[in-house]
């Protein structure tokens, strides 16, 4: 079986589990709340469908890891749902915090229903995520359920810590490369590390294997983000051919930008003097490249990709599911940087 076979098998089960959990809110008085949750999940409202749902990478990682570690994937479904709900909760709140009008091609929850309802809908999604993981009680032991619950909680703490840094950085002109890692570890890597670790935990593997799966998810997240940050400046024209809004225009505190700020050269001077326009992008991207930002980001992405793949080898994923997990990792990581 290839990765696509697993995706075709797992995705409908993931959606069913998510719909079951979110369906518990569809009670008297609260239909409006359920509607916002279903919109955020990509099931309802204008533009509902596959693109609005996103790729469900995190729950797929939970199930594939679980199967690769010798588990019965159905038993890990509550954990798979939990990580996806945590992800979607954080998107609802991040979109308010970042003032983003669009998400996956649709208006964000706060744009449609206002900030007050959006904050509260995010809180509801957060609660449902916490509830989801305790459903493991029915498929595993109380001890594994409690461990998984605490793992999700610790991850939520890391997410908010990463987000705290991201927001704080907006007002700071003194950022350096060292400021990048704690932010991206919290915002991106923590939930991916927990996704792969949860799969292993529910499969009840030894602590060494569980640790290897955790590290795999963590480095997968870091590598993916480093790549994404590279493509956010140098990827649009060369690879995709699309003219996307550059991270430079959006003032994103990405890996190459923090590298450049730490260099304190012409790039840093221009960055600190105010917003960058679309017209300036080629020149400023070139300046950042001259200062070493492009080569540095590329080498970091490669270094982290190699580490993630080594971690996966250490985890020693088994069978067809193991092959599919490697295929997914390579698919996520082997974009041409």
Least Cβ distance, residue 198 to its own copies (angstroms): 16
Residue 134 interacts with its own copies (CB under 8 A)?
yes
Q: Which CB atom, from 167 or from 306, has the smaller least distance to its own copies?
A: 167
Residue 206 interacts with its own copies (CB under 8 A)?
no
Chain positions 62 to 121 lying near its own copies, rule: CB under 8 A, are 93, 96-98, 114-117, 119-121
Residue 124 interacts with its own copies (CB under 8 A)?
yes
- Phi, psi (degrees; rounded to nearest 5) at 218: -65, -50
Residue 123 interacts with its own copies (CB under 8 A)?
yes
- Phi, psi (degrees; rounded to nearest 5) at 19: -70, -35
Selected from 1, 4, 30, 282, the binder of its own copies by CB under 8 A is 30
Helices (H), the chain: 3-23, 31-40, 50-53, 57-68, 77-97, 109-113, 115-134, 142-169, 180-184, 190-202, 207-230, 255-263, 266-272, 281-290, 293-315, 319-333
CA distance 99 to 241: 27
Instruction: Give the burial class of 217: count Cβ atoms within 10 A of its Cβ; 0-12 exposed, 13-18 middle, 19 or more buried.
Output: buried
- The position carrying tokens 């939970």 is 62
DSSP letter at 103 equals E
Q: How many CB atoms lie within 10 A of CB 282?
A: 12
Selected from 38, 40, 76, 128, the binder of its own copies by CB under 8 A is 128
Residue 138 interacts with its own copies (CB under 8 A)?
no
Q: Which CB atom, from 180 or from 230, has the smaller least distance to its own copies?
A: 180
Rounded to 10 degrees, the C-alpha dihedral 195/63/85/331 comes to 70
Selected from 4, 16, 154, 240, the binder of its own copies by CB under 8 A is 154
Q: Which CB atom, from 61 or from 183, has the smaller least distance to its own copies?
A: 183
Least Cβ distance, residue 191 to its own copies (angstroms): 13
Residue ranges binding its own copies (CB under 8 A): 25, 28-30, 32-33, 93, 96-98, 114-117, 119-124, 126-128, 130-131, 134, 137, 142-143, 145-146, 149-150, 153-154, 156-157, 159-161, 163-165, 167-168, 182
């Amino acid at each position: 079986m290839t990765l696509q076979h697993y995706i075709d098998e797992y995705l409908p089960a993931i959606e069913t589990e998510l719909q079951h959990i979110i369906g518990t809110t569809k009670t008297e008085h609260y239909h409006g709340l359920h509607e916002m949750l279903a919109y955020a999940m990509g099931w309802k409202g204008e533009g509902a469908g596959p693109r609005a749902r996103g790729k469900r990478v995190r729950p797929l990682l939970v199930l594939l890891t679980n199967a690769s570690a010798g588990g019965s994937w159905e038993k890990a479904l509550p954990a798979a749902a939990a990580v996806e709900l945590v992800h979607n909760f954080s998107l609802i709140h991040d979109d308010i915090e970042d003032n983003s009008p669009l998400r996956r091609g649709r208006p964000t929850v706060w744009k449609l229903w206002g900030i007050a309802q959006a904050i509260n809908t995010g809180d509801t999604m957060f609660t449902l995520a916490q509830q989801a993981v305790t459903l493991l009680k029915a498929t595993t032991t109380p001890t594994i359920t409690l461990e998984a619950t605490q793992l999700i909680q610790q991850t939520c703490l890391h997410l908010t810590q990463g987000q705290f840094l991201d927001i704080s950085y907006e007002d700071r002109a003194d950022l350096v490369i060292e400021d990048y890692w704690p932010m991206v570890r919290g915002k991106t890597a923590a939930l991916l590390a927990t996704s792969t670790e949860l799969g292993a935990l529910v499969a009840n593997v030894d602590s060494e294997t569980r640790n290897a799966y955790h590290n795999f998810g963590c480095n997968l997240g870091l590598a993916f983000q480093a790549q994404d940050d590279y493509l956010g400046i140098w990827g649009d024209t060369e690879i995709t051919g699309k003219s996307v809004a550059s991270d430079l225009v959006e003032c994103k505190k990405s890996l190459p930008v923090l590298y450049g700020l730490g260099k304190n050269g012409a790039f840093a001077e221009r960055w600190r003097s105010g917003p960058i326009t679309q017209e300036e992008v080629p020149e400023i991207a070139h300046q950042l490249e001259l200062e070493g930002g492009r080569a540095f980001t590329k080498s970091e992405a490669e270094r982290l990709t190699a580490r993630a793949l080594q971690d996966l080898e250490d985890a020693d994923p088994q069978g067809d599911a193991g092959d599919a997990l490697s295929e997914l990792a390579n698919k996520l990581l082997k974009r041409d940087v």
